[in-house]
Amino acid sequence: MVNNTRSSQDTSATSQISIVELPIRGMDCADCARHVQEALQSVDGVDDAQVLLSAERAKVTLRNPDLDLSILRHAVSRAGYSSPFLGDGGDAVHGDAATNRSTEAAAHARKLAGTVLTVFGLVFSVVLLVVVAGEWLGVLDEVSRRIPWWAGLTAVLLGGYPVFFNVVRSALRGKIISHTLMSLGVVAAIVVGEWITAAIVVLFMRIGDFAERFTTERSREAVKGLERLAPATAVRVSGEAPGGETQEEVPVEELTAGETVLVRPGERVPVDGTVTTGDASVDQSSITGESVPVDVTAGDSVYAATILTTGSIRLTVEAVGRETTYGKVVRLAEEAEANRGDVQRVADRFSSLYLPIVVAIAAATYLIGRDPLATAAVLVVACSCSFALATPIAMMASIGASARRGLLVKGGAHIEMLPRATVLLIDKTGTVTTGTMHVSTIYPASGWTAREVVHVAAAAERDSQHPIARAITERALTEDVEVPAASEFVSEHGRGVSAVVENRRVSVHKSSNPSGGETQLDVVVDGVSAGTISVADEVRSDVKVALQAVRDMGLTRIEILTGDNDAVARRIAGGLEVDYRADLLPEDKIGIVREYQAAGETVLMVGDGVNDAPALVQADVGIAMGAIGSDIAIEAAHVCLLREDWDLVPELLYTARRTMRVVYTNIGLTAVYNILGLTLAAFGFLPPILAAAAQSIPDVGILANSSRLLRPARRTPARRTPARVE
């Protein structure tokens, strides 16, 4: 199955470049993904390949767009894995047949995961207890005397066949995998006549495989759980039939832009679209993480995977499947794994060098001590997979869990970069401010009241579409002020408007004396001043608290960048107690980012992802605020905040720091554990049986430690502040 194919012209050659996606089955560790990637990259005609362990998918860049995909599948098969076709399990999971099953499935998966983990812990503990007690009490020696060696050898070969098969197959291709060492340990135990030791090693090899597979699958669910929220079917509404409109339930992929879809109460929206008829409340938490429903009516946009809590709507289809906003969220969450940071690359590099190092230690152990059991123990206790898992498991868990809370991070590289940030740059309009003008103050002239000034000004502005006009008419609506009809409306670009209101000529013009960074409007009736109205862009209520939380985390250099004039910028920046630069063009913002980077600073930039998209790309980490429904923002930014909530900014920084603490803990404990195990085994203090039991423990530890990231922190810094700025 090809999930997606696109072509673009290569600037360095006349050949066409194609990107195809293939499902990959059977991967359960970082080594697996690396082997598949190497197999695909060895195919003639493949320019590059990225294998996503969490998504069980490979993105392959082809120099030859006509390359037979069966060749790629054959390469995957040679590596020991499979790439199924459509219909035999290769489909990416995009939803349940019944939309209301997704929550039940997720709850069932969590319950099952907890049960399996508990059972595994109990079984592991019992087996370990039996093995240790048997070793100390001599029970295992008695068992080995009573059972013929050939029966024990048969049990070893049958129990370890899947592992041995992969080791031999990899060896024939010149590759050493993590199980190679333990398999050598099994061979060493058999050679010295310790078949029961070999059997115990095989037992723990299989237990370790289960632990690793479970660890990977648990973190994989953090991303795959997103896919299950999108419904698989939709109710398509066709044109008028003799008995009325026709309603038909169809697979979502059969829908096309322009068609009409019916969504009823309690159902998930199957596509991105615009409401044509009906009113409803929509729970958008699957995308934005915000639990408060949003009211929609005709003309409003709705998004796939959101839920109608009340009401029923018909909507016009605009995007389907992976082209929807939710589809892009899922795709970017999947692909985030490929964007590895420095820590993960170092860990991967170390994993590839670790196996030869262990072989060298084992050889030295045998040459110095002539103890084959100690040599076998060295080979058995080494656990290279734990190094490979230490970073990606934590990153997968963090990225998947963050996406569910409305924080879309495009890879581990950005999670690594966030804690290093030294400068925070912020775009003003649409980010610090709402982008909506409001009336801040009314100054009536002598003989006039504030309501009378609004009465005539709103009437004069009634036919204008300017944001200032909307602010004045909104003020009239809020205060229940009557807005009469006007005639002879005239709009003067850059100046204001005039109209005849109740037989009087009313003009509303910008004042030549702006005050406090606000726009001053003179209201004149029949040539006499009626008063002045001050209009300003509204600062978001949650910005000041969020910025203080950011400062509390040590990021104190904060600056607002805006294209507005100095007076406006000074007013807003002063209220937030930050620096500012005004009268900027988009290219000026890029220059400021580069200026800081040239000085050695690590720059975060928060914007709305529209006119500041180039600066977001240039920043070390660009953060798009309220990116839902914005293709530009989603593609340009490194992090997308899917709802307009400034609390997400300190939460993002806190989550990144928390994730990196987990990663460093995983790596540190794994390193200490392996060094200790290798030392004890090399000096003969750790027999092969206990070495086999010990080697599977790091995987369980990594799972337990990384699983903490699947749950949000109890309180993020911004939410600890008791007071909010209103």
Which residues are marked as active site? 427
Q: How many CB atoms lie within 10 A of CB 26?
A: 14
Say which amino acid occupies 248.
Answer: E
| 3-class secondary structure, 233 | strand
The amino acid that residue 644 corresponds to is: E
CA dihedral defined by 424, 427, 428, 429, rounded to 10 degrees?
-150
* Sign of the torsion angle spanned by Cα atoms 391, 396, 402, 407: positive
Contacts of 262 (CB under 8 A, 6+ apart): 235, 236, 237, 247, 312, 313, 314
Residue where the block lists tokens 């804690």: 419
Beta strand residue intervals within 349-462, DSSP E: 407-409, 423-427, 433-444
Q: Sign of the CA dihedral 337, 340, 341, 346?
A: positive
The residue written with tokens 């109710």 in the block is 235
Q: What Cα–Cα distance (Å) separates residue 277 from each residue in 234, 267, 299, 441?
A: 17, 16, 8, 38
Phi, psi of 418 (to 5 degrees): -55, -45
Contact indicator for 627, 613 with CB cutoff of 8 Å? no
Q: Token pair 């498991």 is at which residue?
A: 393
Rounded Cα gap, residues 230 and 96, in angstroms: 8
- CB-based contacts of 687, cutoff 8 Å, min separation 6: 135, 197, 373, 377
Distance CA 32, CA 28 (A): 6
Residues linked to residue 282 through DSSP beta bridges, in sequence order: 294, 308
| Euclidean distance between CA atoms 590 and 16, whole angstroms | 32
Are residues 124 and 207 in contact, defined by beta-carbon separation less than 8 angstroms?
yes
